[in-house]
C-alpha cells in the first residue's frame, strides 16, 4: 500500500488536472454554441451552392470549361481540415484515417497524392508519410473565420488545378450533426461535381453576359462556399469533441480522486490501528 504522503500528492496532482479539464470543458461548451449557430446558419446556403454546381455541370455549354472538364487523374489534391491542438477525442484521427484510406487507393491506382492541410495536426501527420506530398500547411482560422482566411486556401487550390498540378481536388472534413454525432466527409470540389441519376436538375437556358464569365466567376465563388462551410462544420465538430473529451477526463479524475481518497483513509486507519497496537503492547510490557 502506498504511503499517505504519496497518496496525498497524487490526489493533489489529479485535483489540479481536474481543474484544468473542467475549465477547458466550459470553454469548449461556450465556443460550441457559437460555432454550432454559425454552421447551421450557412448550411442551407452551402447545400444550395453544391446543387448549383451540379446544375451548371448539367449544361452542355460548360463541358469545355476548365473547371468542369474531366481529365485523366494522375495527380489528386486533398484538403484536410484538422486542429492545431490535441485533447479533441477522435476529431483528428477520423480525418487522418479517411485520408490514409484514400492515399492507399491512390497508390494502388498509380495516382500521385498531394495534400493541403488546415491545422498543424494534419501537417505533422502528412510530413511522416511517403505516399503524399504536402503542398501547403495553414494554421486553423480561429473561432470566427472570415472570407480573408479562406481565400489563400482557395487561391492555392485554383492554382494547383488550373496549372494541371492536380487533376482532381477533394476536401476531407468533419460534418457536425449533433453534440455526440460527427461524420467525416470526403467531397469532390474539382472538377465541379456532376449530377447523380436521381438528382432533379432544372436546365439553365441563358448565360449573361456569356458562358465563360458566368462559369469562371460563379464557380470560384461556389467552391469558396464549399470551403467556408467545411471549415464551419469542422470548427463545430472540434469544439463538440473537445467538450466531450474534457468532460470524460474530468469524470475520470473524479473517479481517481475517490479511489485514492478511499485508499488514503484505509492507510490512515491502518496506521492508527498499528499505533494503538504498539501502545497497548508497550503498556502490557510495562505492567508485566
pLDDT of residue 194: 67
pLDDT value of position 288: 58
Residues 6+ apart with CB under 8 A from 95: 80, 81, 82, 122, 172, 173, 174, 184
Domain ranges for the chain, please list them: 24-243
Helix, strand or coil for residue 168? strand
The reported pLDDT for the residue numbered 200 is 56
Helix (H) or strand (E) holding 78: strand 75-81
pTM over 0.75: yes
Please give the full DSSP string across 11-70, using - where no structure is assigned.
Answer: HHHHHHHHHHHHHHHHHHHHHHHHHHHHHHHHHHHHHHHHHHHHHHHTSGGGTTSTTT--
* 211-224 pLDDT tens trace: 566 677 777 788 88
Q: Do residues 32 and 236 lie in contact, with contact meaning Cβ atoms separated by under 8 Å? A: yes
C-alpha pair distances (Å), 28 with each of 35, 41, 42, 87, 243: 10, 20, 21, 11, 5
- CB neighbour list of residue 161: distance below 8 Å, 6 or more residues apart: 66, 67, 77, 167, 169, 190
Q: What is the CATH number of domain 24-243?
A: 3.40.1380.10
What is the grid cell recorded at 77? 489534391
> For the segment 176-217, what is each residue's pLDDT rounded down to a tens digit?
988 888 899 998 888 877 666 555 555 555 656 665 666 777
Q: Per-block average pLDDT, block size 10, for the chain (288 residues)?
A: 79 91 89 86 78 70 70 92 85 93 93 92 90 88 79 89 89 90 89 64 57 70 85 90 90 91 84 74 69
Distance from C-alpha of 46 to C-alpha of 59, rounded to nearest angstrom: 21
pLDDT tens readout for residues 98-126: 999 999 999 999 999 999 999 889 999 99
> Which single residue is written with the C-alpha cell 481543474?
19
Q: Please state, in angstroms and rounded to a whole number, the distance separating the CA atoms of residues 95 and 115.
A: 13
Amino acid at each position: 500500500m502506498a504511503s499517505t504522503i504519496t497518496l496525498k500528492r497524487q490526489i493533489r496532482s489529479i485535483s489540479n488536472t481536474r481543474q484544468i479539464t473542467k475549465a477547458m470543458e466550459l470553454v469548449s461548451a461556450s465556443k460550441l454554441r457559437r460555432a454550432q449557430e454559425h454552421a447551421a446558419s450557412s448550411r442551407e446556403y452551402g447545400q444550395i451552392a453544391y446543387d448549383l454546381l451540379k446544375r451548371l455541370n448539367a449544361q452542355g455549354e460548360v463541358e469545355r470549361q476548365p473547371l468542369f472538364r474531366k481529365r485523366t487523374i494522375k495527380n489528386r489534391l486533398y484538403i484536410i481540415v484538422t486542429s492545431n491542438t490535441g485533447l479533441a477525442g477522435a476529431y483528428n484521427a477520423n480525418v487522418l484515417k479517411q485520408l490514409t484510406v484514400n492515399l492507399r487507393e491512390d497508390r494502388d491506382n498509380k495516382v500521385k497524392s498531394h495534400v493541403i492541410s488546415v491545422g498543424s495536426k494534419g501537417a505533422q501527420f502528412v510530413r511522416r508519410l511517403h505516399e503524399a506530398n504536402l503542398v501547403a500547411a495553414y494554421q486553423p482560422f480561429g473561432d470566427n473565420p472570415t472570407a480573408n482566411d479562406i481565400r489563400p486556401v482557395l487561391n492555392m487550390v485554383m492554382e494547383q488545378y488550373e496549372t494541371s498540378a492536380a487533376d482532381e481536388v477533394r476536401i476531407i472534413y468533419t460534418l457536425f450533426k449533433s453534440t455526440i454525432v460527427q461524420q467525416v466527409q470526403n467531397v469532390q470540389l474539382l472538377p465541379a461535381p456532376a449530377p447523380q441519376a436521381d438528382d432533379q436538375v432544372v436546365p439553365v437556358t441563358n448565360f449573361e453576359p456569356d458562358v465563360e464569365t458566368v462559369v469562371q466567376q460563379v464557380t470560384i465563388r461556389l467552391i469558396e462556399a464549399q470551403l467556408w462551410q467545411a471549415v464551419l462544420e469542422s470548427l463545430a465538430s472540434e469544439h463538440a469533441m473537445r467538450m466531450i473529451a474534457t468532460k470524460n477526463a474530468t469524470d475520470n479524475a473524479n473517479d481517481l480522486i475517490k479511489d485514492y481518497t478511499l485508499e488514503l483513509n484505509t492507510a490512515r486507519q491502518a496506521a492508527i490501528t498499528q499505533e494503538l497496537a504498539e501502545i497497548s503492547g508497550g503498556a502490557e510490557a510495562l505492567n508485566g
